[in-house]
Amino acid sequence: MAGAHAFLMPSAAARWGVCALSAALEAAYPEAEESPESLEGTAAHWVVECYLKGSPPALDSQAPNGVAVTQEMVEGAELVVKTIEATLGSRWREMLVIERRVQIPRIHPTHCWGTPDYYAWAVFPDGRRFLFLFDYKFGHGIVEVVENDQLVAYVSGIFTEAGIDGVSDQQTVVAMCIIQPRAYHREGPVRWWKVRGSDLRGQVNILHSQAELATRPNPPAKPDPDACKNCKGRHACEALQRAAYLAADKAQQATAIDLSPLALGIELRALTRAQKLLEARVSGLEAQAVAEIKRGKLVPYWMMESVPGRLDWNKPDAEVIMLGQIYGIDIARPPGPVTPTQAKAKGLPAKLVDAYASRPPGAAKLTYDDGTKARLTFSSGNT
């Protein structure tokens, strides 16, 4: 799982496959540190790997990156194992390839490679090959499986490794699966896309063309709501900046006439796209502002403000439950007590709850400041 990333990462193909400049921007502005979500995802993949190899880790034990194993990670790993076993049968452990890097020369001869989560080959009696590709997503954001650029790139690399060419791909069936236990989707947490290998040529060719553009000097930029949303270099993209300014201008234009259904539909589509471009630009600037403030620099109109954490008990569960019993109030909710706020609602004296509960410091959050908060902060120190 660890190791350097390719310049044209399959996991970023949805971005550089649309905007050729994004690969260079992301290489120029890598994340200074892994986000909590990224660390959690890495730990969740490690838990799955342990399950697939027959050595499940204990709940609350630590993954190699120091993140604790949670019940959600265990349930996600069990879903992956169940899905793979139901698909491949009892000999699935012999067939499965777990997180092995593949080169993807059909997209780019040197700059495109990646590590599929899990895949396996099967051969039918008539000689047809069947490739099963499983991709595990632990995040909450919905990822669609149909025409997924990341999976198509992996298939291209696996085909090259297996010697599947422009003839044999017509007799090869590809079943791609995304397993996403924490994001609600109308099709459920396990979703499939099954096609003939030859049907993927068009998408591979498009990625190849984009890869050629991305590796040239001064690659072209193409602002796009979906591609820009997660680009790590979006805060430094002049094309997105201009598109966002144009979107802001358009959003401020007043319409004083009744629109026909056609005009309404066209303008609503344009403004919805403009709104997404603005959101992508804003999120990128917010991330840059947070980084600058953490480095001790002043960002006018913005400051980091600590948000109080959730009120929680600071005494052992048994002691808190006994306190409720003394007052004749049942605040038990196995395996522990109800929340302090719920205990107050049940009638437990507020002063007692406050003595047994506290709010831990919350995460710092970027907030807008027109100067009022700063003046209050400095003035309070002089009173």
**Residue 284 banded pLDDT, cuts 50, 70, 90:** confident
Is the model's pLDDT at 170 over the cut of 50? yes
For the whole model, what pTM was predicted? 0.71
Q: Taking residues 177-192, what's their average pLDDT?
A: 93
Confidence band, pLDDT 50/70/90 cuts, at residue 296: confident
pLDDT of residue 198: 96
Range of the domain at 242: 225-294
Q: Quick check: 209 pLDDT over 90? A: yes
- Count the domains in the chain: 3
**Contact between residue 118 and residue 85 where contact means Cβ atoms under 8 Å apart:** no
Q: Which of 268, 294, 320 is the last residue of a domain?
A: 294
- Domain shared by 264 and 353, yes or no: no
Same domain? For 115 and 150 the reply is yes
DSSP string, 303-326: EEEEPP---EE-S-HHHHHHHHHH
pLDDT of residue 371: 65
Which residues is 131 bridged to in the sheet? 121, 174
- Residue with the bigger pLDDT between 196 and 29: it is 196
Q: Which of 11-15, 97-101, 235-239, 328-332 has the lowest mean pLDDT?
A: 235-239
Question: What pLDDT sits at residue 70?
Answer: 93
Statement to judge: residues 189 and 276 lie in one domain: no
Whether residue 279 sits in one domain with residue 183? no
d(CA 373, CA 371): 6
Q: Are 63 and 51 in contact (CB under 8 A)?
A: no
Are 173 and 253 part of one and the same domain?
no
* Bridging pattern class, strands 172-179 and 97-98: unpaired
- Of 364, 13, 367, 342, the C-alpha closest to 207 is 13
Are 276 and 128 in a shared domain? no
